[in-house]
Amino acid sequence: MAIRSGPSELFPGFRDSAYPRLGYILLFGALLRLWCFNAMTGYDEFIYAHLANNLAQGVLQVGDASGYFSFRYLLYAPAAFFVKLFGLSAFSLSLWPFLCSMGNICAAFLLGRLFFGPGSAILSAFLCAFFPFSVTYGTILYPEEIISFLLGLSVYFYFRADRTEESNAASGFFVLSGIFAALAYYTRLNALLVFGFYGVYAAFRPARMRFLWVPAGFLLALLPEALFYYFKIGDPFYSWHSQHQMLISSAVRFSSSLRIYLEAIFGLNMYGLSLFGFFYHFFSAALVYFSYQRKFRDILPLFLWFACLFAYLEFGPSDMGAGRYVLALKQLRFLSMVSLPVCLVVAVFISRLEVKTRIGLLAFLLISSVAGGLKMSEYCAAQAAPHELAYAYMKESAPGAVFVPGADWTQRLNFYFKTPLAAPYYPKTGQYRGVRKLGELPGSGALKNSWLVVDTRELPEKGSKPVENAIKKAAKVININGFIRLYYVH
């Protein structure tokens, strides 16, 4: 099963014939992601966009305990480079996740080759190229494709080290594994879950002490941040404390139902079916197949990778203090951390089938996945459409102020108007220049050249005299989509 190579080779077999085929797969994956281009259609990405834009202008926002966004350096710092290079736009902000999405295809190839050989490596890369989850998030400035790519490299070097006999080279690969795990941690806190998998795997391996090079590499990469916060505020673990507290708060506010992941991955709702296609159905079939064939050992490391992370995402706690057990916050996006083992197991499963069956299943997966990716692209565009249309109307008057119903509108319109982000940036503690909440509306006499955005479903103007007076005084009313209305006060 394992493919051993010389200790000096980072990527063994680089000259073999599989690599040109990987190039065609990368081209296919790139075109598919551009076809389903989704940049700047979410919510959090607008916060990351502001952080990246500020960094591109020389302003680094750190030490803000009001949220966890500014601690995700590996998400917005590379994006800031592209903003500096090409200016602030949906295109420049999508380049970093796009490159990482391409990197995921390469990581799937490397892992497939390491475990099963060139044939399964190509199939793994091909599946990853059209996996609808990856296609959807491949152009959105979210952590998903970035953390998946970095964890994929961490796992790759972990198993390269385990399969390398020369001790110095193995130690180096283990250190690289830890460093990439730290880079993933700098993208999102829950990347730490990979150490649960590493610990379980190492417990059943000989010479377990050598695996300690992984946390050594991890701590080495965390040292700069720890020193920065130690000298800045006296707490080397400030990032961890701030993010963990925010995650506990989020877990209490949002749903932690045990149905969220299972309903989505098995397509029991249209959103989940569009996002994951039928990959998890094939993954389940693969587990049954390898168990029945008594060859489960072939996929055991990949299954442990999936099972350890998924088990915590599903059942793990975000807080166990004061005698309570609060389940961790559940977001379908978090399943990005198990996308690679799913694609790899499905690939080796399909590769063991007869040629005609293999072709038929691949065609079914491809067609259904592309349809799902396009469906998600339509959904993302529909989510962004009211905000983009409202901005198109408002920008002509070069308004002095815009008042909106909530943080969602605040984030989006700040981006469209290129409004500088005031620190602290998090919606619950920060105030923005230019785009403000309806609750901050002054008396109608003070309003000039201003727009009000009102969502009639929430009726935020009810009982608010400033809003009611501004609506009566409005010189222009524009109905966006039946429930979003724009009021212009000259």
Q: Which of 397, 395, 471, 481 is nearest to 438 (CA)?
A: 471
Residue 3 maps to a domain:
no
Residue 108 maps to a domain:
yes
* Residue 17 identity (one-letter amino acid): S
Task: Kindly tell me if the per-residue pLDDT of 33 is higher than 70.
Answer: yes
Task: Kindly tell me if the per-residue pLDDT of 90 is higher than 80.
Answer: yes
Q: Quick: pLDDT tens for 316-342.
A: 877 655 566 777 788 899 999 999 999
Judged by average pLDDT, the poorest of 10-19, 225-234, 300-309 is: 10-19
Q: Give pLDDT, residue 1.
A: 39
Residues 146 and 268 in one domain: yes
Q: Give pLDDT, residue 463.
A: 54
Residue 386 maps to a domain:
no
Residues 103 and 248 in one domain: yes
Residue 86 maps to a domain:
yes
Residue 13 maps to a domain:
no
Residues 451 and 419 in one domain: yes
Count: domains in the chain: 2
Residues 374 and 403 in one domain: no
What does the buried/exposed string (b/e) look like for 389-411 if buried means 16 or more CB atoms within 10 Å of the residue's CB? ebbeebeeeebebbbbbebbbbb
Residues 308 and 370 in one domain: yes
Question: What DSSP letter does each residue of 242-259 carry, written as one string?
Answer: HHHHHHHHHHHHS---TH
Residue 43 maps to a domain:
yes
Residues 158 and 52 in one domain: yes
Residues 189 and 221 in one domain: yes
Residues 412 and 467 in one domain: yes
Residue 98 maps to a domain:
yes
d(CA 417, CA 395): 8
Give the domain extent around 236: 18-379
Boundary of a domain, candidates 379, 412, 440: 379
The mean pLDDT of the chain is: 86
Boundary of a domain, candidates 379, 413, 431: 379
Residue 393 maps to a domain:
no
Residues 220 and 324 in one domain: yes
Q: Quick: pLDDT tens for 62-87.
A: 755 456 788 999 999 999 999 999 99
> Which has more pLDDT, 465 or 350?
350
Residues 443 and 358 in one domain: no
108 touches 152 (CB < 8 A): yes
Res. 422 pLDDT band, cuts 50 70 90: very low
d(CA 297, CA 304): 11
Q: Quick: pLDDT tens for 179-220.
A: 999 999 999 999 999 999 999 999 999 888 999 999 999 999
Boundary of a domain, candidates 379, 412, 427: 379
Residues 274 and 336 in one domain: yes
413-439 mean pLDDT: 60
Q: Give pLDDT, residue 465.
A: 76
Residues 213 and 301 in one domain: yes
Q: Quick: pLDDT tens for 212-250.
A: 999 999 999 999 999 998 998 888 988 888 887 777 666
> Which has more pLDDT, 440 or 347?
347
Judged by average pLDDT, the poorest of 44-48, 225-229, 381-385, 419-423 is: 419-423
> Which has more pLDDT, 409 or 32?
32
Q: Region of 286 please: left (phi>0), alpha (psi -120 to 50) or beta.
A: alpha
